[in-house]
Amino acid sequence: MRGGTSHGPFFRAGDLPADIATRDRVLLAVMGSPDARQIDGIGGADPLTSKVGIVSPGKDGVDVEFLFAQVSTREAVVDTTPNCGNMLAAVVPFAIESGIVKARGDTTTLRVLTQNTGTLCDIEVQTPGGRVEYAGNARIDGVPGTAAPVNITFLDTAGSVCGALFPTGNLVDRFDDVDVTCIDNGMPVVVMLAADLGVTGYESRDDLNANTALKKRIESIRLQAGPAMQLGDVTKKVVPKMCLASAPRSSGGGEGGHLNTRFFIPHDCHSAVGVLGAVTAATAAVTDGTVAHRVARVPPGPLKTFSVQHPTGEFTVVLEMSATKPTEVARASLLRTARLLMRGEVLIPGDIWHT
Count of other CB atoms within 10 angstroms of residue 276: 31
- pLDDT classification of 327: cutoffs 50, 70, 90: confident
Distance CA 124, CA 150 (A): 6
| Residue 20: exposure state from Cβ atoms within 10 A (0-12, 13-18, ≥19) | exposed
Count of other CB atoms within 10 angstroms of residue 226: 22
Q: Are 55 and 94 in contact (CB under 8 A)?
A: yes
Contacts of 27 (CB under 8 A, 6+ apart): 16, 52, 69, 71, 78
Which backbone phi and psi does 193 adopt, to 5 degrees? -80, 130
The DSSP letter of residue 95 is H
pLDDT at 251: 59
The DSSP letter of residue 198 is T
- Pick from 39-43, 85-89, 122-126, 138-142: least confident: 138-142
Q: Is the pLDDT of residue 255 over 80?
A: no
Q: Are 151 and 123 in contact (CB under 8 A)?
A: yes
Q: What is the mean pLDDT of residues 7-24?
A: 97
Q: Domain spanning 2-149+338-354: which CATH class is it, in words?
A: alpha beta
Q: For residue 197, give the 3-state DSSP assignment.
A: helix
Q: What is the mean pLDDT of residues 312-319?
A: 93
Length of the chain: 355
Distance CA 209, CA 123 (A): 34
Distance CA 38, CA 29 (A): 9
Q: What is the mean pLDDT of residues 263-279?
A: 93
Residue by residue, DSSP assigns 106-172 as SEEEEEEEETTTTEEEEEEEE-GGGS----SSB--TTS-S-B--EEEEES--BTTTTSSSSTTS-S-
Angle of CA points 205, 211, 213, to nearest 5° = 145
Distance CA 32, CA 191 (A): 32
Residue type, 99: G
Q: Is the pLDDT of residue 25 over 70?
A: yes
pLDDT at 218: 98
Q: What is the mean pLDDT of residues 120-128?
A: 97
Q: What is the pTM of this model?
A: 0.81
Contacts of 129 (CB under 8 A, 6+ apart): none
Which backbone phi and psi does 28 adopt, to 5 degrees? -60, -40
Q: Is the pLDDT of residue 219 over 80?
A: yes
Same fold, 2-149+338-354 and 173-335: yes
Q: What percent of the chain has pLDDT over 70?
A: 98
- pLDDT classification of 187: cutoffs 50, 70, 90: very high
Each domain of the chain, given as residue ranges in start order, spans 2-149+338-354, 173-335
Topology, domain 173-335: Diaminopimelate Epimerase; Chain A, domain 1 (3.10.310)
